[in-house]
Chains A and B, each alone.
Chain A
Amino acid sequence: MPKYVATQILQIIFLVLVVATVVFVMLRVVGGDPARIAGSPASTEQVLQQFRERFGLDRPVLEQYFSYIGGIAQGDFGSSFRSGEPALQITLKAIGNTGMLVLLAMGIGLLISTSCGLAAGWRKDGWFDRTALTLVAIFQSVPGFFVAIVLVLIFSIRLRWLPALGAPGGAGMVLPLVALVITLIPEQFRLVRESTIRQISLDYVRSARGFGLSDTKVLFGSVLKNAVLPLVAVVGIQLGYLLSGAVAVEVVFNYPGIGTLAQTVLTARDYPVIQAITIVGAAAFLIINLVVDLTLAHLNRRVSIR
């Protein structure tokens, strides 16, 4: 096991190094001189050079590269060309904001789809089932960004109940959350509904009813647990889609997450922040996967690690 862990950690370090190298090279190949972007048409070559010196962009590329890799090893991703704040701090703030949005959306989505799916499946073809199916068909056919725009028009501009510009925590999260949750519900709802219908046709439910257990006890005592199992499989996949969907929603609501940050820093060619976003994202993904593998191995003796 220790050998496995050590190998995996080395692999992660290697992969992060590859990602760091790729983003470093791409930024310098793609064009756009940060000094000229930050300067003015009247900036002289000396002024542009001062900017480059301030951020080490005047040094040979290879020297910049090794200094950059050395900095990352010490957790120093450099300072933003725009605000001077540490790039890592800016990135973690944005990731935290996006993470909070995505997790809350997933939690709310699961809560709504589970309860509605159970209710719809329990009374298949009833009025609630038919209404819910119609609604999810509508949700499924409308793109998330369109929902976001309509929500802003109604609840922010017309009624002025909720802010149009997103912010982490409080009322500023409501509309971005609604826009995301609406995209999650259709798939989750259908799964729970189908699963509920399947479960109630099984013998154990008929027996429970035969023993005189109330519908509530059967539904929450037996059916719920089995009906939501298929959800577990899709949550991980949906989380990935949700992250990409969140980027568009963030821009529509100007929510200060990783999507809006990426858009801003790419325009400004703010190298340290672009690099931090890419590397932190890659490292987080790799570390999570390692921890999952280790935890699985610990929980399940049938999974062996050599």
Chain B
Amino acid sequence: MSRSHLLRTSLVGLVAATAAGMFVVPAVAAVDVLVFGTTEVPSGSWDPQQNFGTVPIQVNSLVFGNLIQFNAEGELVPDLATEWARIDDNTLEVTLREGVTFHDGTTFDAGDVRATIERVANDANIAHNIFWSPSKVEIIEPHKLRIVTDAPFAPLERVLAVTNIISEEQAADPEALRVHPVGTGYFKFDSYTDSVVRLTAFNEYWNGAPGVSGVDFRVLADRNAMMAGLAAGELDITYRLSPADLDVIGSTDGISVTSFHALDNVWFGFDTTANAVSDPRVRRAIAHAINRPGIIELFGGYAKLPDSPLPVGAPGYEPLSPYDYNPELAKQLLADAGITDLTLRYPSSSGVWPFQQQVDQIIVSSLEAVGIKVQVERLDTATFFSTYPTYDIFVQSWYMLTGDPDFSFSIYGGSLGAAIFKWQDEGFAERFAKQRSNMDPVGRQADINELSKYVWEELPLLPLHNLQWIVAYSDDVVGYTHGPTFAELLHGVTLKR
């Protein structure tokens, strides 16, 4: 018996040791490499026009250049375009920067801009198409062009500030773009292996080499490990933190914590064709039933209570009459709508947004308090993301990627609204098109207010909270700031270790 155990143990050891011989020690980041920690597992697709994930957007903001970009104050500043001007409501004339090369050495010119814009603006199978308007690009000179939209398109400049310029070659070869993007940004994409996305400095960048030799995005399996890694000095920056994460790092020396308004909206959505929630009166009753102030309290000052479809304080935001937490009114509205017995299916998953379990508990108890029965189905994260639109009610989020209200409203309409809320509403479509094409800023704001009011009444989704983004970073990082979007501004960042 003992000999058998000894042998088995030895052989297990032998096999494991043999396998151990195959392991490759993950390359440790060099001293002047900036290391981000994240628990978001990137999908492995780096096509900048097909992604809404945080890590891909951060990575692509470093690998690619845009014609225009946001600075830390949210102002539009030149990037690959040195000048731009409206010729008429449908036309933007752009002068391109000269002497810019892609990471593979090819020269950047108007052909690349045309390939990029005509791909994203006109192909409905490109994810970022949802915030573009059909357009064509007329090349005047190799470094001068005109972007001509089919209809007046007010958000164009802001849309350009989140449109990464890809090369003509990669526009024609999406598979290459997906696995190994080549841009004009100040970092080159190196690899995504061993749960590390690795970027290296592009020393031929038109504005000079960046202040660090590379950036690693290290994907971690556990949030507590991520916070410990930051506190121990192995990670430089962690972001999108929950207030609860701050308990782990506490008052650790050498760590700074900052937060910024990420224009993030976590909302409660409805299948507008399902059961009684197809009636807007019932949706409004539910809005009064949910204890949203209780949800806000969970975040200890890092979230705001929405009183508009647009995040509080975002461009275009105007407060509307809030859906106060009022269970008695909710019961009355349900009775007025003739609802006596209502059961709704709700998917619950922890680990998607901060405090999600507690938020779920508040939602369920709020609904049950007004007589709505809730069938809660506990799902793992993967199943949740694949199936949430198949439920009667669900929680999801949407942020203002372009810093323009047009983007926030894009989720209500078109294929996106149809897929998530099964909401195809002519009243919305008309108002959406109107604000989009109004080139007068004052007039456009009035249109946005009208659109806000309309969707606030129809309520295919109820914003639950506008979460502040919490970023914690090591004091070794010098010059770190954040703009209004997920894009990183790291060109001037250095490390003092």
Contact = CB atoms under 8 A, between A and B. Distances in A.
Contact of B386 (A32, A85, A264): A32
A44 B415 contact: yes
A252 B222 contact: yes
Interface stretch (B21-29, B97-105, B135-143): B21-29
B3 interface: yes
B43 A236 contact: no
A32 B382 contact: yes
A163 interface: yes
A42 interface: yes
B385 A37 contact: yes
A300 B3 contact: yes
Contacts of B179: 84
B229 A33 contact: no
Interface in B169-198: 179, 192-195
Given A268-B41, A268-B382, A232 B5 contact: yes
B225 A41 contact: no
Contacts of B279: none
B22 A82 contact: no
B13 A31 contact: no
B321 interface: no
A254 B383 contact: no
Contact of A40 (B15, B26, B52, B231): B52
A39 B11 contact: no
A157 B4 contact: no
B482 interface: no
B234 A93 contact: no
Contact of A43 (B12, B127, B234): B127
A93 B221 contact: no
A238 B45 CA distance: 42
A102 B23 CA distance: 14
B103 to A, nearest CB: 19
Contacts, number: 208
Given A152-B232, A254-B229, A42 B127 contact: yes
A38 B20 contact: no
Interface string B1-21: 111111111011101110111
Interface residues of B, number: 75
A38 B52 CA distance: 11
Contacts of B17: 99-100, 103
A84 B234 CA distance: 27
B42 interface: yes
A170 B225 CA distance: 19
Interface stretch (A64-72, A196-204, A287-295): A287-295
A96 B16 contact: yes
A56 to B, nearest CB: 16
Interface size class of A (residues with CB under 8 A): 35 or more
A44 B7 contact: no
B251 to A, nearest CB: 11
B420 interface: yes
Contact of A100 (B23, B130, B226, B252): B23
A285 to B, nearest CB: 9
A164 B383 contact: no
Nearest to A230: B2
A97 B386 CA distance: 32
A239 B9 contact: yes
A301 B11 CA distance: 20
Contact of B24 (A93, A149, A152): A93
A233 B1 contact: yes
Contacts of B231: 156-157, 164
Contacts of A254: 220-222, 225-226, 229
A47 interface: yes
Interface string A70-82: 0000000000111
A30 interface: yes
A54 to B, nearest CB: 8
Contact of B41 (A82, A99, A160, A170): A82
A128 to B, nearest CB: 28
B213 interface: no
B127 A267 contact: no
Nearest to A47: B125
Contacts of B90: none
Interface in B413-451: 415-416, 419-420
A40 B386 contact: no
Interface in A134-161: 149, 152-153, 156-157, 160
A251 B221 contact: yes
A188 interface: no
B389 to A, nearest CB: 9
A288 B129 CA distance: 54
Interface string A275-296: 0000000001001110110011
B383 A256 contact: no
Contact of B9 (A83, A98, A236): A236
A227 interface: no
A296 to B, nearest CB: 6
B124 A44 contact: yes
Contacts of A149: 224
A178 interface: no
Contact of B11 (A102, A232, A288): A288
B85 interface: no
Given A100-B16, A260-B195, 11 more contacts: A31-B379, A32-B382, A37-B382, A41-B411, A42-B416, A93-B24, A96-B20, A96-B21, A103-B16, A149-B224, A287-B15
19 contacts: A37-B385, A38-B45, A41-B416, A42-B127, A42-B130, A43-B127, A44-B127, A82-B41, A84-B44, A95-B16, A99-B16, A99-B19, A149-B224, A164-B225, A164-B232, A169-B25, A251-B221, A251-B222, A296-B4
Ordered nearest first, which 6 A-B pairs have the shortest CB separation?
A99-B16, A32-B382, A96-B23, A164-B232, A38-B43, A156-B232
Interface of A: 30-33, 36-44, 46-47, 80-85, 92-93, 95-100, 102-103, 149, 152-153, 156-157, 160, 163-165, 167-170, 229, 232-233, 235-236, 239, 250-254, 256, 260, 263-264, 266-269, 284, 287-289, 291-292, 295-296, 299-300
